Each structure stands twice: as C-alpha cells, then as structure tokens.
C-alpha cells in the first residue's frame, strides 16, 4: 500500500541534497520535521518569520528533567507551524551521559498519521526511526 501523498520537495534534511533528489510521502514528512527542528528562527530564506527552532540550542543551555515538557511544547509549536502538519505530540527525553536529546514525535499530517524519532546532539539532528 502506498503511503500518504504529501506532495514533493527536494530532499533537504539539514542541507539541500546536492543531487536535488525529490522526496515524497513519509520521507518528506520526516525531512519537514527535521528542518523545522534544525533551522534557527529567521534562517529560512523562503519564509524568514516562520516558527522554527534549532533543537541543538537546548543542549547548550543544559537540560534537566523539569525542562523536558517545555522543550516538547516548543517543538510542537515549531512542527505545527508547517501547514502540512495538522497536529503533533512530542515526548522529549535526555541522556546526560551521551548529551543526547531524543524527540519522539507522533503527528497527523495532511494525508494521515506519522511517527518519527529524532536524536539531537550538539552537532546535528538525525532521524532514528521514521
């Protein structure tokens, strides 16, 4: 069975794919989420006032268990700022030994539900599970 049709876009998780590969479906939704949680506010040339955040910044300020609900809420706001994401739930967890923030995302997009797990380090945001 084919996945939901979210349209097409150039592949660009944290940077534009140099081969200009087109992505769609669940892969596109995963990349949309990564971009919204990897782009500093004002850094999206196509929409500099878009509500995005760079989740890596959370690690530079230090994270406690009490910070996790606030972090999850800010991530939800950034994700729901994209018109293709109708709703999102984020569960944030932090591993102080690895200095890694894990974001478990469950959402509903324009064409159906999606699930995604991201690992955020001080260097990058990567997809663990889509």
3-state secondary structure the chain: CCCCCCCEEECECCCECCCCCEEEHHHHHHHHHHHHCECCCCCCCCCCCCCCCECHHHHHHCCCHHHHHHHHHHHHHHHCCCCCEEEEEEEEEEECCCCEEEEEEEEEECCEEEEEEEEECCCCEEEEEC
- Indicate the CATH number of 8-129 among 1.10.3720.10, 3.10.450.40, 3.40.50.2300, 3.40.50.970: 3.10.450.40
pTM for the full predicted model: 0.82
pLDDT in 10s for each residue of the chain, 130 residues:
454 556 767 666 666 666 777 777 788 788 888 888 987 765 554 555 567 899 999 998 889 999 999 999 999 999 998 888 999 999 999 999 999 999 999 999 877 888 999 999 999 888 888 7
């Amino acid at each position: 069975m084919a996945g939901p049709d979210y349209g097409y876009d150039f592949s660009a998780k944290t940077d534009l794919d140099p081969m200009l590969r087109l992505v769609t479906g669940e892969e596109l939704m995963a990349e949309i989420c990564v971009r919204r949680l990897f782009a500093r506010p004002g850094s999206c040339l196509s929409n500099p006032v878009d509500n995005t955040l760079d989740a890596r910044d959370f690690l530079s300020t230090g994270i406690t268990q009490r910070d996790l609900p606030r972090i999850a809420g800010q991530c939800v706001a950034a994700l729901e700022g994209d018109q293709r994401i109708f709703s999102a739930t984020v569960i944030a967890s932090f591993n102080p030994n690895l200095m890694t923030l894990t974001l478990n995302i469950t959402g509903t997009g324009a064409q159906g539900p999606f699930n995604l797990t991201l690992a955020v380090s001080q260097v990058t945001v990567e997809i663990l599970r889509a």
